């Protein structure tokens, strides 16, 4: 078993991994930069080490991270998500120095990180892919020629892309010509590669992804699907499991496709196979994420499987704790990403001090976060404050419970997406389970909501309680 784990990450995912380590009796070690010296993951871990003044550099230096793991006696590294989680060089260095990497082998990350190669692999395995490039594009003229063949609209994508970056929809030759250099530039800045490719745009699809687990002994299973169609600019906002839009036949089909994809690349550890579902009911492979997903609590809620603990056990060489027939889904779960953003102002980030934070509670309500009252939310990272995950036995009960949880949670000092999510949950189409990736853009009226005025009331209640206590 792993004895000591380095977590070169921060925020809620570092706290989540620390919790899994504590339950398994593993010593947890984290890194932090100066701006994170008061962060919750630093307070929660068994050991914490400062890796510099630069807010980002310390989390992105694979050589230094592996050196720290060796110096502190760690026998494994869990990268979480973001930062170096899908960087094959970190996995390679771990392999070089005999440190267990909690994720797939470096060659698998290489193979799936290149979207062109991933498309080739899946097509060879008999998994349907969206029509498009078979190689990276040589220039805008080649892109225009291919787009003419497959038909507009098309998606121009970075081959090393991820996280919704390096992607542009092009509805005409003019838009493709204008966007080509932009995507190349975005790809270079975000991923260090100028390679791009082209795909036919599946118009208004549903975005369905499947959680998979695979061990070193060749076993692979799926943990059912999540519906990630509620998104903005390819960034997910709300995730649901299982999808209220799939039939049981479709659910079985996509699960089998995900396991097939897993086996096709010799996958190990936790991963997510992402698909697009068109209006005719056809599934198309989109990509495979070689890491733990932000939305993994949704799957944990409906299956009862602790995915992070399974990751650690797999990395230690143990067989999967479950067979496919052991995995059942029960009820529905939803994760709402509570971001420090102002939806009314084009989702502009709203960083600053959290003046008050009240977590919701009750049956089926879970929060994963790293904020607290008085915490300064730094502007150097993403704007995620808390992941609110709600579970209930039926879709209708889930909606009602999620609405109440959004009423109970309180985050003050920064603007958040909470009031916007309340409007989404009240939308008749959403409540009917009828939505696709165009939902946010097609329902701009949901941005017309009143400002949250509960803080003065809560502050008055707290002040009265303090005064009463002091008087007693």
**What is the number of H-type helices and E-type strands within the chain?**
17, 22
Between CA 297 and CA 405 the distance in angstroms is 16
Indicate the pairing of strand 332-339 with strand 341-342: unpaired
Question: CB of 199 within 8 A of CB of 155?
Answer: yes
Between CA 294 and CA 297 the distance in angstroms is 8
Between CA 310 and CA 320 the distance in angstroms is 7
Between CA 25 and CA 167 the distance in angstroms is 42
- Is 268 labeled as catalytic in the residue annotation? no
CB neighbours of 11 closer than 8 A, spacing ≥ 6? 39, 41, 370, 381, 384
Active-site option among 111, 291, 337, 366:
291
Bridge partner list, 206: 277
Between CA 213 and CA 104 the distance in angstroms is 10
The first and second tokens of residue 217, run together, are: 């002994």
Phi first, then psi, for residue 367 (nearest 5°) are -120, 135
| Closest CA relative to residue 93, chosen from 81, 82, 79 | 79
Question: CB of 328 within 8 A of CB of 242?
Answer: no
Between CA 151 and CA 101 the distance in angstroms is 43
| Closest CA relative to residue 1, chosen from 80, 100, 96, 137 | 100
* Per-residue CA distances from 222 to 258, 261, 282, 468 (Å): 7, 11, 20, 54
Between CA 130 and CA 149 the distance in angstroms is 14
Between CA 314 and CA 332 the distance in angstroms is 27
Between CA 386 and CA 179 the distance in angstroms is 34
DSSP run (H or E) holding 454: helix 454-471
Q: What is the rounded (10 degree) CA torsion for 33, 35, 37, 41? A: -80
Bridge partner list, 390: 334, 365
Catalytic annotation, residues: 291
């Amino acid at each position: 078993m792993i004895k000591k784990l380095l977590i070169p990450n921060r925020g809620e995912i570092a706290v989540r991994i620390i919790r899994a380590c504590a339950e398994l009796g593993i010593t947890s070690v984290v890194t932090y930069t100066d701006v994170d010296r008061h962060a919750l993951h630093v307070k929660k871990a068994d050991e914490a080490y400062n890796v510099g003044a630069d807010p980002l550099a310390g989390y992105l230096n694979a050589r230094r991270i592996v050196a720290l793991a060796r110096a502190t006696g760690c026998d494994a590294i869990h990268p979480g998500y973001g930062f170096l989680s899908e960087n094959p060089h970190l996995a390679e260095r771990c392999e070089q120095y005999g440190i267990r990497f909690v994720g797939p082998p470096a060659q698998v990350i290489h193979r799936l990180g290149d979207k062109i190669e991933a498309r080739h692999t899946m097509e060879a395995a008999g998994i349907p892919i969206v029509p498009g490039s078979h190689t990276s594009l040589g220039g805008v003229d080649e892109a225009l020629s291919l787009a003419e063949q497959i038909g507009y609209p098309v998606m121009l994508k970075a081959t090393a892309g991820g996280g919704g970056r390096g992607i542009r929809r092009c509805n005409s030759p003019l838009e493709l010509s204008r966007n080509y250099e932009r995507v190349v530039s975005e790809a270079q800045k975000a991923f260090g590669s100028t390679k791009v490719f082209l795909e036919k745009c599946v118009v208004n699809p549903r975005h369905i992804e499947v959680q998979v687990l695979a061990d070193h002994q060749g076993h692979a299973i799926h943990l059912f699907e999540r519906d990630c169609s509620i998104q903005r600019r390819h960034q997910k906002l709300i995730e649901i499991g299982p999808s209220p839009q799939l039939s049981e036949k479709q659910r079985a089909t996509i699960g089998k496709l995900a396991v097939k994809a897993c086996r096709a690349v010799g996958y190990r550890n936790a991963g997510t196979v992402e698909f697009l579902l068109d209006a005719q009911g056809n599934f198309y492979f989109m990509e495979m994420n070689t890491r733990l997903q932000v939305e993994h609590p949704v799957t944990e809620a409906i299956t009862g499987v602790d995915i992070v603990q399974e990751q650690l056990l797999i990395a230690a060489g143990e067989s999967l704790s479950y067979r496919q027939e052991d995995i059942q889904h029960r009820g529905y779960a939803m994760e709402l990403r509570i971001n420090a953003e102002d939806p009314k102002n084009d989702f502009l980030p709203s960083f600053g001090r959290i003046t008050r934070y009240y977590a919701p509670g009750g049956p089926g309500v879970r929060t994963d976060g790293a904020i607290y009252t008085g915490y300064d939310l730094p502007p150097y990272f993403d704007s995620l404050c808390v992941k609110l995950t709600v579970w209930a036995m039926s879709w209708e009960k889930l909606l009602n419970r999620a609405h109440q949880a959004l009423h109970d949670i309180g985050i003050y000092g920064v603007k958040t997406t909470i009031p916007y999510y309340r409007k989404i949950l009240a939308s008749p189409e959403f409540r009917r389970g009828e939505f696709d990736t165009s939902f946010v853009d097609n329902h701009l009226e949901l941005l017309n909501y009143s400002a949250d005025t509960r803080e003065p009331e809560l502050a008055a209640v707290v002040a009265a309680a303090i005064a009463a206590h002091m008087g007693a």
